[in-house]
Amino acid sequence: MTSEPEVGFKNRVLALVARIPEGRVMTYGQLAMLAGNPGAARQAGFVLNSLVGGSELPWQRVINAQGRVSTHKVGFGDMQEGLLVAEGVVLDASGRCDLSKVQWWPEEQKDAPPESLF
């Protein structure tokens, strides 16, 4: 069971999502780490779940560590994939994007290690 994320974490997650440029993505784990709570990918996803379909924030730019959307099970996968493709994110036949090409790190984190090291 996932508990309600604390307000500070939630605000940091939302602030980071607002900064993701068009055509780029972050992973849930990366987002949680940058928001100050490494290992809280599910909590980051919980924060974003409240945005789907009703926010100006680019929620669609957050995907899983395999480079795929994770919102099919809640009915928004096709929408999220469509929004990403419209922004120029290339998805292969399995719905995966190449994180080495489209994953975004904030300038202050430009020397961050690849997510696979976390």
User: At 98, which amino acid appears?
Assistant: D
Question: pLDDT tier at 77 (50, 70, 90 boundaries)?
Answer: very high
Is 45 inside a domain boundary? Answer: yes
Cα separation, 107 vs 77, whole angstroms: 29
Where in the sequence is the domain holding 69, given as residue range(s)? 7-101
pTM: 0.86
Question: pLDDT tier at 118 (50, 70, 90 boundaries)?
Answer: very low
Number of domains in the chain: 1
48 and 17 in contact (C-beta within 8 Å)? yes
37 and 30 in contact (C-beta within 8 Å)? no
Is 61 inside a domain boundary? Answer: yes
Is 54 inside a domain boundary? Answer: yes
Is 106 inside a domain boundary? Answer: no
Q: CATH code at 87?
A: 1.10.10.10
